């Protein structure tokens, strides 16, 4: 048996060791930025520069996006990446399918698409901020939006902040997009523009009819039924909603994502829903370099279901 004085000297030494931060970033250079909380994976921001060596590699790398890990299965994603149904849908992402602008030579460009990225694309240039602490973690990614001619027409600063205030994962998304051309218009349609969340591809393949939406006013919707904005359905259930919830079934477990739209974002904000687990909103707006576009959204993700009252309170806290 070790003499007692050994234990007596170890105790004060252990007591003086600093407590480690609960959130931690790990950067795999040129590939992705990984976030862990208490040594469990939380999110992965994929920012690999576009690789046009093959159609497959281009498809994998034409825009940055954020994966979210499942809270119930270590190392498995809750969100969808490249491939699967609609390869351009990727976790948490932002873009517009109908962009037009006049470049500095006076040439007019139309049908510039940073949603499907068939010609145009988004490319991460650098991180301007990256911090992790006990209560939250965030990064800011500087992203160039590149047109059909291979030239930059706008630069975005995209900030994402992660926290666990109670039991739910809270993700704040803030973006400022500044044109590098004299004038710029962002446009699209509800299914192909704006800020969106796409759940795992298995929702499409296995359980789309279990997905249901929670909306202000009408409450919990019927499983398998989506409501989308169109010119004919332009009403308070498809436009300018302060919040919306999507509940989906994955491996016989329900997960809910609350989507909170800040009142300072451009309006009208037209809503998109799909049973396979993608939802979001889009808007149309005009920009000039002196007046960049800034938007704010918040996602709250829970393993389990949410009530109307819970999401309403989340929205009120976000807007307050």
Q: Based on the structure, what is the number of domains in the chain?
A: 1
* Average pLDDT score, the chain: 93
User: Residue 213 domain-assigned?
Assistant: no
pLDDT in tens, 244-254: 999 999 999 99
What's residue 181's pLDDT?
Answer: 98
- Please, which residues have CB within 8 angstroms of residue 167's CB and are 6 or more apart in sequence? 302
Closest to 157 in 3D by CA, of 303, 263, 294, 305: 294
Domain membership flag for residue 236: no
pLDDT per residue over 31-81, tens digit each?
999 999 999 999 999 999 999 999 999 999 999 999 999 999 999 999 999
Residue 122 and residue 29: Cα distance in Å, rounded? 18
250 within a domain of the structure (yes/no): no
Report the alpha-carbon distance of residue 318 to residue 309 in Å, rounded.
14
The predicted model scores a pTM of 0.93
Q: Is residue 181 part of a domain?
A: yes
pLDDT at 232: 95
What pLDDT score does 42 carry?
Answer: 98
**Which DSSP helix (H) or strand (E) runs through 245?**
strand 243-250
pLDDT confidence of 20, banded at 50, 70, 90? Answer: low
Going by C-alpha positions, the residue among 213, 257, 274, 278 that lies closest to residue 71 is 257
Nearest CA to 101 among 189, 188, 179, 194? 179
Does residue 78 lie within any of the structural domains? yes
Q: State pLDDT tens for residues 197-227.
A: 999 999 999 999 999 999 999 999 999 999 9
Which residue range(s) make up the domain with 31?
21-198+268-301
- In angstroms, the Cα distances linking 303 to 5, 90, 150, 249 are 48, 20, 42, 10
């Amino acid at each position: 048996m070790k003499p007692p004085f050994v234990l007596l000297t170890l105790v004060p030494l252990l007591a003086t060791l600093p407590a480690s931060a609960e959130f931690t970033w790990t950067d795999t250079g040129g590939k992705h930025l990984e976030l862990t909380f208490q040594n469990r994976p939380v999110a992965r921001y994929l920012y690999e520069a576009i690789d046009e060596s093959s159609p497959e590699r281009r498809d994998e790398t034409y825009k940055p996006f954020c994966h979210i890990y499942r809270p119930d299965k270590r190392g498995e994603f809750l969100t969808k990446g490249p491939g699967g149904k609609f390869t351009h849908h990727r976790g948490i992402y932002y873009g517009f399918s109908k962009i037009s602008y006049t470049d500095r030579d006076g040439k007019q460009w139309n049908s510039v698409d940073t949603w499907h990225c068939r010609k145009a694309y988004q490319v991460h240039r650098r991180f301007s901020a990256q911090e992790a602490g006990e209560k939250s973690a965030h990064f800011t990614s500087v992203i160039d939006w590149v047109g059909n001619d291979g030239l930059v027409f706008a630069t975005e600063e995209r900030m994402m902040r992660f926290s666990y205030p109670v039991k739910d994962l809270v993700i704040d998304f803030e973006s400022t997009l500044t044109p590098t051309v004299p004038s710029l218009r962002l446009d699209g349609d509800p299914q192909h523009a704006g800020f969106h969340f796409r759940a795992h591809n298995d929702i499409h393949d296995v359980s789309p009819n279990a997905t249901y939406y929670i909306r202000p006013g009408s409450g919990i919707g019927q499983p398998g039924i989506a409501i989308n904005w169109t010119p004919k359905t332009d009403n308070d259930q498809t436009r300018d909603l302060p919040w919306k919830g999507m509940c989906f079934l994955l491996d016989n477990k329900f997960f809910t994502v609350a989507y909170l739209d800040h009142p300072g974002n451009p309006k009208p904000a037209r809503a998109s829903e799909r049973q396979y687990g993608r939802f979001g909103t889009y808007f149309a707006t005009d920009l000039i370099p002196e007046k960049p576009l800034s938007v704010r959204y918040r996602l709250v993700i829970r393993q389990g279901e949410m009530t109307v009252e819970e999401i309403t309170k989340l929205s009120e806290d976000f807007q307050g």
